[in-house]
A and B are shown apart, each in its own frame.
Chain A
Amino acid sequence: MSCSRMEKKILGYVDGRLKESERLEMEKHLTTCAACRVRVNEFRAVNVLLDELPAIEPSAAFDIRMQARVAAEPVKQSWWAWFAPSPRVVLAAAMLLLAMVWLGSRGSYTDPLSAADIDKINQNMPVLENYDVISDFAPLSELPPPVQADDASDTSSNQTM
Chain B
Amino acid sequence: MLDVKAGDEQSFTLLLHRYRRPLINFLYRMVRNREQAEDLAQEVFIRVYRAREDYIPSAKFTTWLFRIATNLALNSVRDNRYQRMEISLDAPVTVDAEDGEEKALDVTEQHPNIEQHLVDEARRKMIRHAIDKLPEKQRAAVLLHKYQELDYGEISKILQCSESALKSLLFRAYETLRVELAPLVAQQARQ
Shortest B167–chain A CB gap in Å is 4
Most chain A CB within a 10 A radius of its CB, from B28, B164, B170, B188: B188
Asked if B50 lies at the interface with its beta carbon under 8 angstroms from chain A, I say: yes
Say what secondary structure dominates the interface of chain A: helix
Asked if A19 lies at the interface with its beta carbon under 8 angstroms from chain B, I say: no
CA distance A69 to B38 in the complex (A): 13
Q: Which of A8, A48, A59 contacts B34 (CB 8 A)?
A: A59
Q: Which of A11, A46, A56 contacts B28 (CB 8 A)?
A: A56
What are the interface flags for A46-70 relative to B under an 8 Å C-beta threshold, 1 for contact and 0 otherwise?
Answer: 1111101111111100110110011
Q: A45-B189, A49-B185, A69-B42 are in contact. Are A56 and B178 (CB under 8 A)?
A: no
User: Are A66 and B185 touching (Cβ within 8 A)?
Assistant: no
Say what secondary structure dominates the interface of chain B: helix
CA distance A46 to B49 in the complex (A): 37
CA distance A53 to B131 in the complex (A): 11
Asked if A27 lies at the interface with its beta carbon under 8 angstroms from chain B, I say: no
Asked if B99 lies at the interface with its beta carbon under 8 angstroms from chain A, I say: yes
Q: Which of B42, B124, B178 contacts A62 (CB 8 A)?
A: B42
CA distance A12 to B171 in the complex (A): 10
User: Are A73 and B50 touching (Cβ within 8 A)?
Assistant: yes
* Total A-B contacts with CB atoms under 8 angstroms apart: 104
Shortest A84–chain B CB gap in Å is 15
User: Are B34 and A49 touching (Cβ within 8 A)?
Assistant: no
Could you tell me how many residues of chain B have their Cβ less than 8 Å away from some Cβ of chain A? 45
User: Are A58 and B188 touching (Cβ within 8 A)?
Assistant: no
CA distance A69 to B20 in the complex (A): 15
Q: Which of B24, B25, B127, B186 contacts A50 (CB 8 A)?
A: B127
User: Are A10 and B171 touching (Cβ within 8 A)?
Assistant: yes
User: Are B127 and A73 touching (Cβ within 8 A)?
Assistant: no
CA distance A10 to B123 in the complex (A): 25
What are the interface flags for B111-136 relative to A under an 8 Å C-beta threshold, 1 for contact and 0 otherwise?
Answer: 00000000000011001100100000
User: Are B127 and A17 touching (Cβ within 8 A)?
Assistant: no
Shortest B145–chain A CB gap in Å is 8
Task: Tell me which residues across on chain B come within 8 A of A11, comparing CB atoms.
Answer: 145, 167, 170-171, 174
B residues apposed to A, CB below 8 Å? 12, 16, 20-21, 24-25, 28-29, 34, 37-38, 41-42, 45-46, 49-50, 53, 98-99, 123-124, 127-128, 131, 142, 145-147, 151-152, 164, 167-168, 170-171, 174, 177-178, 181, 184-186, 188-189
